[in-house]
Structure 1
């Protein structure tokens, strides 16, 4: 098994592998306990490619809301025009929202892609200044401000909150553990009790 270690873990570390999943890379990146030394501060070319794939996956995972925001802004501008329309019109269109202020500032039109890249850069810069290195990834992101990481924080919490039964690493270690521990041919205690009760029913 040790001879084929690189092949076994290529789905996690080798970005050129057929079964490589960027989900595990993104989860490692948003965990400051892993990414601070093993990923961000590592100059290895393979690790840097791994880091780039993780960042690209996080960027794609953020839903693009730019077109929706522009459409909402256009609708709001039309509604404001309707509210200040002169009374000389024969059939003025009734505004959808009656209490919109005509002087209300328009919503800033910022790109979601540029915002998430800025948050990723800010997160990487803050890894070297992390005070508590013993806290888990969940504790780290819960302590962060939602205004500082508007897009990255909820995504990081979703990635780190995945149950272990669905994690790729958990499945790999459970399979290899059964193969190497010598317990695969030994029935568990609960199975023995179930079989005993089944065979000894009155």
Structure 2
């Protein structure tokens, strides 16, 4: 971002720089060199824009993958539609991005984490488009994300079921002095009639499996989504639950 700002500022004051250089008798950049700087600015501009966007405190992890896909697509376009020198630089930058973010982009990488892909998968404003992209790597990332969501949900369900089986944690024993001084009248009276019915287990509400919920989510994404953010989408789900 700082390199982009420096190049953009230099191009903005190009005429003034040339005038001062002529007055002082200094060598100035050639027209071809100024053109290379212009190409450099165009190459770096998306990186600067995404840096400014993603460094905000209000941004979500779900936007990381779309930003990386956007940058890689931009670099591929530059390789095809620019001079040889800039194309070589774009190719090197593309390799660097793939290497540095392999833990996000490459499911076969040893350090790959599906967390970022899962965040992207759960943002309907992003996932709705990616589901229709005919790219094997993107579809594999979404598959990994879906599996990660299922595993996390099942772990949470198992933890909740275990808590239900074990019951609430026992209260700490009262001090001897307090137990001896407590009067019998302060205790909750026991009604055998009520306790007989109170011991019946509460019926569990039927729940869809995680896979079924994900399928329903994908079906919704096949239609138009009016929400501007993923948070707005899921908050709406809470309101209708």
Q: Tell me: higher relative CO, structure 1 or 2? Use CA pairs within 8 A at least 6 residues apart.
A: 1
- What TM-score, normalized to structure 1? 0.49
- What TM-score, normalized to structure 2? 0.42
* Rg larger for: 2
